């Protein structure tokens, strides 16, 4: 087995979250910066929070709204079947 191929393990790695939460853990890195942690993640807090840096949610909502408008206009233009007397 080769010696000295593993990175150095740090017991006091500082983790900094975008929400301002800091905690210490063990890692091969000296400092870790993250966007979500257990203090702000929706799974742990029970609050819904959309993290959308690329506007994907807004684009999806716009696409859904456009398809609803189009389906309404198609239904309005469709000829109605004539009623037959029995």
28-66: per-residue pLDDT in tens?
999 999 988 888 887 777 877 666 666 778 888 899 998
Helix and strand counts by DSSP (H, E) for the chain:
2, 3
Check residue 16 and give its pLDDT: 94
In a domain, 35, yes or no: yes
In a domain, 67, yes or no: yes
**Number of Cα atoms under 13 Å in the Cβ half of residue 76:** 6
Check residue 4 and give its pLDDT: 87
- The pLDDT of 17-27, averaged and rounded, is 92
In a domain, 66, yes or no: yes
More confident residue, 83 or 62: 62
Check residue 52 and give its pLDDT: 63
- The pLDDT of 71-86, averaged and rounded, is 72
> Are 16 and 31 spatial neighbours (Cβ–Cβ below 8 Å)?
yes
In a domain, 73, yes or no: yes
With tokens 């506007």, the residue in question is 55
Q: What is the mean pLDDT of the chain?
A: 83
Task: Find the domain containing 31 and state its range.
Answer: 10-77
pTM: 0.48
């Amino acid at each position: 087995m080769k010696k000295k191929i593993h990175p150095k393990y740090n017991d006091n790695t500082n983790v900094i979250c975008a929400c301002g939460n800091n905690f210490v853990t063990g890692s091969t890195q000296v400092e870790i910066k993250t966007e979500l942690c257990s203090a702000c993640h929706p799974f742990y807090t029970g609050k819904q929070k959309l993290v959308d840096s690329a506007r994907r949610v807004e684009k999806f909502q716009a696409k859904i709204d456009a398809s609803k408008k189009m389906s309404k206009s198609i239904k309005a233009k469709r000829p109605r079947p004539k009623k037959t007397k029995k």
